[in-house]
A and B are shown apart, each in its own frame.
Chain A
Amino acid sequence: MSLWFWLLLACVLAYAWKLVGYFVPARLLEDPRTSRVAGTMTIGLLASLTVVNAVASGQALAADARLGALAAAAVALALRAPFLVVVIAGAGAAALLRFLGWN
């Protein structure tokens, strides 16, 4: 199946989630567990995506310049840098480490 298919399906489902809130009676979603799961899943998915992008290389684990990017981003965030600065710090660290010979 082409990437376009899954991409457009993701768009349709994203809009469906958004609409659900406006049309489903509030009491159906009042169960605190629903919003808890939505929130914990957000944290879990973002943590997982961070790690996958830092150490996964296909089905293998790798320690490369991306770990430097992770560290640089953490420092930038701890210093309360804005989003774009954090991203640039990550890119800069990875590029610099590669330039120095650590892949």
Chain B
Amino acid sequence: MGLEPAETGPRRASLAGQAVKLLASPAVRVGISISIATGLYGVSFGALSVTSGLSVLQTMALSLLLFSGGSQFAFIGVVGGGGSGIAAMSAATLLGMRNGIYGMQLNALLRPGGWRKYVGAQLTIDESTATSTGQEDPAEQRRGFWAAGIGIYVLWNLFTAIGAIAGSGLGDPKQWGLDGAAVAAFLALLWPRLKGREPIAIAVVCAAATVLAVPFVPAGVPILVAAVVAALAGWFSHGRRDEGLEPDIEPYGEHHHGRPGAGSADLRGQQGDGTQRGADT
């Protein structure tokens, strides 16, 4: 009995010491702030999802299992627009391709072993990748990935639940302008990727292809038409290798993005990044 305080004392001190050490890590601090910023917009996803016709349970399944903001918004955007389930699934899946590229970068950068690969894969999204690749020290790259990945996962799901429950009590979503909120959300996801003339040209061409396709094909399909147009543009043109692979929320601010030397497998900042970005600002 009398020995207990003596035993827990140092242990508590070392735990506190570890926590302090973790919080002193720049990557962890960035990870936490990006978690809060990204998590917060889970509210809009939750609310929009239930007003698009998904149940609260389906909404939570998307945030817990799919866990990739763009793909989740794509799924509910297609369903909300009257598209079929298969069109919604296709749009979400095509939008998720970039996570495979991030996985490859992170695998080369962090070299996770065993179960960490499987858990890390689920946490592989724009923001956790950007937080990790923005660091130069391998230990910081690892801390940044896990801090941002776990932080966003927890807060994104928490705020999705809040948004979904609040949204299901709203009544007529149009009266609250929630269809307008969806338009704004997609533009906000697109916006950080429009750095330079090429991505703007791709966006304009794909938008035009969509408008032209709407009257002729079932709802949801115009989005897939645009995906094909964009894929062809990427395949046959030569430009920045990491075009469009920007996070929705930039963890290091505009000028930090794409710094070279963040790792051999890092695509960011390898090709013409500095010149193109510099020319456009």
Contacts and interface: CB of A to CB of B under 8 A. Distances in A.
Contacts of B186: 46, 49-50, 53
B86 interface: yes
Contacts of B102: 18, 21
A53 B204 CA distance: 15
Interface in A11-59: 11, 13-15, 17-24, 26, 29, 32-56, 58-59
B262 to A, nearest CB: 15
Contact of A44 (B44, B104, B230): B230
B277 interface: no
Given A26-B108, A35-B245, A91 B181 contact: yes
A51 B180 CA distance: 11
B226 A14 contact: no
Interface in B92-121: 92-108, 112, 117-118, 120-121
A26 to B, nearest CB: 6
Most buried by B among A1, A37, A54, A77: A37
A9 B61 CA distance: 11
Interface stretch (B8-16, B65-73, B135-143): B65-73
Contacts of A29: 100-101, 104
Contacts of A9: 89
Chain A interface mostly: helix
Nearest to A67: B183
A84 B104 CA distance: 31
B277 to A, nearest CB: 15
Nearest to A56: B214
Given A5-B85, A36-B241, A48-B206, A14 B99 contact: yes
A90 B82 CA distance: 21
Nearest to B53: A3
Nearest to A82: B37
A39 B210 contact: no
Nearest to A33: B235
Interface string A74-103: 101100001110111111111110100000
B150 interface: no
A49 B186 CA distance: 7
A70 to B, nearest CB: 5
A38 B265 CA distance: 16
Contacts of A53: 77, 80-81, 179, 182-183, 186
Nearest to A94: B180
B229 A44 contact: yes
A56 B219 contact: yes
